[in-house]
Structure 1
Amino acid sequence: MENHDTPKLGNQLCFPFYVIAKEMTALYRPFLDELGITYSQYLVMMVLWEKDGLTVNQIGEKLYLDSGTLTPLLKRLESKGFIIRKRKKEDERVVEVFLDDAGRNLQQKACEIPRKMQEKLNLSTEDLLELKQTVEKILNKIR
């Protein structure tokens, strides 16, 4: 006997979001493999390309990541020579993150990724903007 109150996967808003997140990350993978970074590392790099010298906490706030998740990402980026982590002189508990030369050079290579993704998705700029605005509206309601 079927229970009509049972949630159905096809009726859930969360499932398409889950699938899109997974599939979008997979679409980015070939472009990021060329740069030698993962999607999570790409997010960190974009934050630093916008504003270099942020603290670990500031990066975490922008990406909605805690320091336990962020620290291993930063260590890997540092081992690849893309960033430098420095303890703040005034307060050694605070770690600041700076782009290294290789990280700045990576920015130039990454500039093509948004265009390549738009081509791969075959969506107009207007469609992408509308989709982004809708998703941001939902995200703002969740926060």
Structure 2
Amino acid sequence: MFGIRDLPADWFTKPISYGAAHDRVRRVHGRADMHVCVDCGHRAQHWSYNGDSEFEQSGEIHYSHGAKTFLRWSTDTDAYSPRCRFCHAAKDYGFTRAPWTPADLDALAALKGMTVAQQAARLGVSPSTIDRMRRALRERG
């Protein structure tokens, strides 16, 4: 990690790639999983661009599996916040909240030892929701 005085003069204005922006964030702030999610308090997994930087850049990103998407990023490392997977998706795609509450996760934890199908039947949700809830339980710690 380094201080603002150690930054090159063109740190904020020089165009950089999406990957380079995230590399900078990790160098300045450390790994996301060493922080808590700013939205829900669970352990973070991602650095999430807040979308409010005067140094915003954007472009089309091509993934190795052939998909492509249009993304925004910033050269300003303070324009990022640590977020868990769900809150990151909520921020980027407008989801409002998980379809379950902390009490729902507690109820699922009490059903430990049952199969996914049994838990889904007991809680009245789909097996895929149980899978996501189990992931949320693991992330909650």
Scaled by the length of structure 1, the TM-score of the pair is 0.21
Higher helix share: 1
Higher strand share: 2
Q: Which has the higher contact order (CA 8 A, sep 6+)?
A: 2
